[in-house]
């Protein structure tokens, strides 16, 4: 077979997506040069920022993709440069036009679902993580905003430890298990207390909604702090009409407190769509269900709020084990009874708030030429 042309190489490179921006390399104008020397190919890629933590991705994926597409290629050399400040500004501006924020816009294709509780200790964050993983498992694109600023735990539960990449003023959320995640816990040590009052919380939440490249996921889950404080009120102001799920346990005390969260949501124009009862029962080795925390709390709360009971999640020690290890149980042990309960709950949520139609995405950036640095020549790309 003859060696490929520059145009053929360009077309293959265009099929490779930037792992953070989820756009093709040509659409982002990251391919700055292509040269062919016998059976060797050299390409020059412009990263969004110097020292991009994902540079190893390009050194691995580009040679593999080109050798797969063109078997006669013996070697692929990938050189990396970085965009100028002006190019980054243009990129961020075009991305914001392509995926406008906030999610409250009438043309947003994202279903926003806040997950709250009346009190702590009911497993709200564990429920949020496993519902997010279940939605991703069902094939939906998912974002997860950890708005529990004082008690953030989402990064640990998903095993995320690195700080997000920042391009210009846009935060690139790390993605794990098909879930894009942002949390104050990604910007501060895990044992560092966040001592903020209302105005600072309000500003931080606003930035997490508008300055993060969420890329219009099908679902954005928001893990609220327990109770009816500043964060829940701010979210209601930013996202009026967003859906909300209340998590409780079967215990009467938890149900009564959770009712306040539900009533607060109604007063602030959040649409409560259902209740999840966590720690519903423990199934012993004898196969029997043991109602450790009583029973009926979830059903009673759903009746009072006039919404469906979306799911009853059993108490299972391995749920805690996998959360501490940074891996949702729905992915690590999908056949477990608790995993099936989480997936059933996620399906109920999808039935109530199905994903909205998503238009095709495409951005236009100015053409830029750059030297290859190895004797080759830059190749312009139109898109």
Assign 3-state DSSP to the chain and report helix, strand, coil percentages, each to 5: 35, 20, 45
pLDDT at 360: 60
DSSP conformation letters of 153-209: -HHHHTT--SPPEEETTEEE--EETTEEEEEGGGSS-TT------HHHHHHHHHHHH
Distance CA 6, CA 372 (A): 14
CA neighbor of 243 nearest in space, from 216, 217, 262, 215: 262
DSSP conformation letters of 95-153: HHHHS-S-TTSTT--PEEEEEEESSTTS-HHHHHHHHHHHHHHTT--EEEEE--STT--
Report the CATH number of the 6-97 domain.
3.30.300.130
pLDDT at 310: 97
What's the distance, Cα to Cα, between the start and end of the chain in Å? 28
Determine contact, residues 10/381, Cβ cutoff 8 Å. yes
Name the H helices within 177-316.
198-210, 230-238, 252-267, 297-305
Parallel, antiparallel or unpaired: strands 179-183 and 175-176: antiparallel
Determine contact, residues 173/213, Cβ cutoff 8 Å. yes
CA neighbor of 16 nearest in space, from 48, 63, 56: 63
Distance CA 150, CA 165 (A): 23
pLDDT at 48: 85
pLDDT at 258: 84
Query: What is the value of pTM for the model shown?
Result: 0.75
pLDDT tens readout for residues 198-215: 556 667 777 788 888 888
For residue 265, CA distances in Å to 27, 147, 301 come to 41, 16, 14
Distance CA 258, CA 224 (A): 13
Supply the DSSP symbol for 17.
Answer: B
Supply the DSSP symbol for 38.
Answer: T
Q: What angle do CA 90, 208, 106 make, to 5 degrees?
A: 80
Distance of CA 149 to the CA centre of its chain: 17
Report the CATH number of the 111-352 domain.
3.40.50.300
Q: What angle do CA 224, 229, 234 make, to 5 degrees?
A: 70
Residues 6+ apart with CB under 8 A from 5: none
Residues 6+ apart with CB under 8 A from 373: 44, 79, 81
Supply the DSSP symbol for 218.
Answer: S
10 Å CB burial of residue 366 (0-12, 13-18, 19+) is exposed
pLDDT (tens place) for every residue of the chain, 383 residues total: 678 999 999 999 999 988 888 788 998 889 999 999 999 999 999 988 877 677 888 999 999 999 999 999 999 999 999 888 888 888 877 776 665 556 766 778 899 999 988 888 899 999 999 999 999 999 999 999 998 877 788 999 999 988 888 887 788 899 999 999 998 888 775 555 554 455 566 677 777 888 888 888 999 999 988 866 667 777 777 887 789 999 999 988 888 888 888 887 777 778 899 999 999 999 999 999 999 998 999 999 999 999 999 999 999 999 999 999 999 999 999 999 999 999 999 999 999 999 988 766 554 444 444 444 433 333 333 33
What does the domain layout of the chain look like in residue ranges?
Answer: 6-97, 111-352
């Amino acid at each position: 077979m003859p060696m490929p042309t520059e145009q053929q190489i360009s077309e293959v490179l265009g099929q490779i997506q930037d792992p953070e921006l989820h756009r093709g390399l040509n659409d982002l104008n990251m391919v700055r040069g292509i040269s062919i020397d016998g059976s060797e190919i050299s390409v020059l890629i412009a990263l969004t920022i110097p020292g991009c933590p994902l540079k190893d991705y390009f050194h691995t994926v580009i040679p593999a993709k080109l050798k797969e597409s063109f078997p006669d290629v013996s070697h692929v050399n990938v050189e990396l440069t970085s965009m100028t400040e002006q190019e980054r500004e243009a990129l961020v501006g075009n991305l914001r036009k392509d995926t406008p924020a906030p999610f409250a816009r009438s043309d947003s294709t994202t279903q926003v679902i806040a997950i709250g509780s009346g009190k702590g200790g009911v497993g709200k964050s564990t429920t949020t993580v496993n519902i997010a993983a279940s939605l991703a498992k069902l094939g939906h694109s998912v974002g997860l905003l950890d708005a529990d600023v004082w008690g953030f735990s989402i990064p640990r539960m998903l095993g995320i430890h690195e700080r997000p990449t920042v391009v210009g003023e846009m935060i690139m959320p790390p993605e794990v298990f098909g879930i894009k995640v942002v949390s104050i816990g990604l910007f501060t040590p895990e044992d560092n207390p966040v001592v903020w009052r209302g105005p600072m919380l309000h500003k931080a939440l606003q930035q997490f909604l508008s300055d993060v490249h969420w890329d219009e996921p099908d679902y954005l889950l928001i893990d609220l702090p327990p109770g009816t404080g500043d964060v829940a009120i701010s979210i209601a102001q930013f996202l009026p009409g967003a859906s909300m799920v209340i998590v409780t346990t079967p215990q009467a005390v938890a149900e009564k407190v959770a009712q306040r969260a539900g009533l607060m949501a109604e007063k602030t124009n959040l649409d409560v769509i259902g209740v999840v009862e966590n720690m519903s029962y423990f199934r012993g080795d004898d196969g029997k269900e043991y109602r450790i925390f009583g029973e009926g709390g979830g059903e009673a709360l759903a009746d009072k709020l006039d919404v469906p009971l979306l799911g009853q999640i059993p108490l299972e020690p391995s749920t805690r084990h996998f959360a501490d290890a940074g891996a949702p149980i729905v992915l690590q042990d999908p056949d477990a009874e608790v995993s099936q309960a989480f997936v059933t709950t996620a399906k109920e949520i999808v039935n109530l708030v199905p994903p909205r139609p998503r238009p095709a995405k495409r951005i236009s950036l100015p053409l830029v030429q750059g030297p290859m640095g190895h004797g080759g020549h830059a190749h312009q790309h139109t898109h």
